[in-house]
Amino acid sequence: MKQRIVIKIGSSSLTEADGTLSPLKLAKFCHAFQEAVKSGHELIVVSSGSVAAGFREIGYHSRPETIQGKQAAAAVGQSLLMQHYRFSLQQYGVTAAQLLLTRHDFQNGEHYQNVTAVLEELLRRGILPIINENDSTAVDELTFGDNDMLSALIAGAVHADTLILMTDVDGIYSANPAVDPEAVKYETLSHLPPSLFKNADGSTSGLGTGGMRSKLRAAQAAQEMGARVFVGTYNEKEPITAVAEGSGRSGTYIHPQRSGQMKTQKQWIAYHAAPKGRVLVDDGAEEALLKHGRSLLLVGVSQMDGHFQESDVVDVYNQDGVLIGKGRAAEAASRLREKAGISPSPLVIHRDHWVRLADSQARKEHTEHE
């Protein structure tokens, strides 16, 4: 069955032992990409590797450590990386397109729509989009942190069926298999418990920016949006089509938490829009939101912070300080404060503009351990 697939390739999967880009490894991935495309699947690639491709070109003997060094290497390396992709893919008659993105492209509603529109057009025309974070210009507050989360957000934006996170570990384990011989590999997961985040190794091989904890965060976001996730290593005997169909053995499958895809508007609220304020709700309002699908009324709000305006996104916390969801404000904070005590109680967030953040307690606990 035809699928829409997003595959993320990390630096460790594309580099030699000395940290430089490996044209041979990249070419093997391109062979796998074209097999998937020729089989009728729609494929989007999120690829690291620009720093690896460029740092030697600008005179570094090893991967730079400073932000300026990495940005300079990425500026040179991104074009070289795409040259390798274009050369390898053209041999199979596949045309590649490059997109460089920052958080701003997702936070801004119009930009976000443009990103999804151009991806849809490229896929419609049989073009293979290759996406990377714009490392050369991104500043801390506008970065994704790593390409794991970028790939999850892309998977949600295009309503992908499957997200494949390629890494140098063959799946998700109960503990770090490199240091714990009793670590157990999970073949499938339907739920990501707090213990996984607590025990996950946040370190990297030194060639990239993400560890297993990063992949768990990305997997959680993708499954909340409705995509199935595969975390594992590349195996030439297991084509991308086999992984997408569920027969991959070199990794762990994480099943989506919803039967359908999260609507694009709700994705934007949950993952992209910058919150302009927050409200704390009492136990009754929390139950109404989480268990009964109700709207949030002012009578259920115990505290309101910020100067948000109508349609701004606000964070919603329960009495324990756990973030349970986000929503678009029905009115400005100033107007709501003026209406305190009015009956019937004014609307704060309509249920159509509310997004529950799944497994909020797990989200709180694994954040506390970082």
Q: Is 241 marked within a binding site?
A: no
- Cβ proximity of 173 and 184 under 8 Å: yes
CA separation for the pair 242, 249 (Å, rounded): 9
The answer to whether 79 is a known ligand-binding residue is: no
Contact by Cβ (8 Å): 102, 143: yes
H helices of 125-239, in order, are 147-157, 194-199, 212-225
- Does 166 count as an annotated binding residue? no
Q: Is 213 annotated as a binding residue?
A: yes
Does 215 belong to an annotated binding site? Answer: yes
CB-based contact 37:43 (threshold 8 Å): yes
In whole angstroms, how far apart are CA 345 and each of 300, 301, 338, 341?
Answer: 9, 11, 12, 7
48 is in an annotated binding site: yes
Residue 304 in marked binding region: no
8 is in an annotated binding site: yes
Residue 357 per-residue DSSP state: -
Q: Is 206 annotated as a binding residue?
A: no
Was 211 annotated as part of a binding site? yes
Q: What is the 3-state secondary structure (H, E, C) of 91-158?
A: CCCCCEEEEEECCHHHHCHHHHHHHHHHHHHHHHCCCEEEEEECCCCCCHHHCCCCHHHHHHHHHHHC
Asked whether 75 and 54 are in contact (CB, 8 A), the reply is: yes
Annotated binding site: 8, 48, 135, 147, 167-168, 209-215
Annotated binding site for ATP: 8, 167-168, 209-215
Annotated binding site for substrate: 48, 135, 147
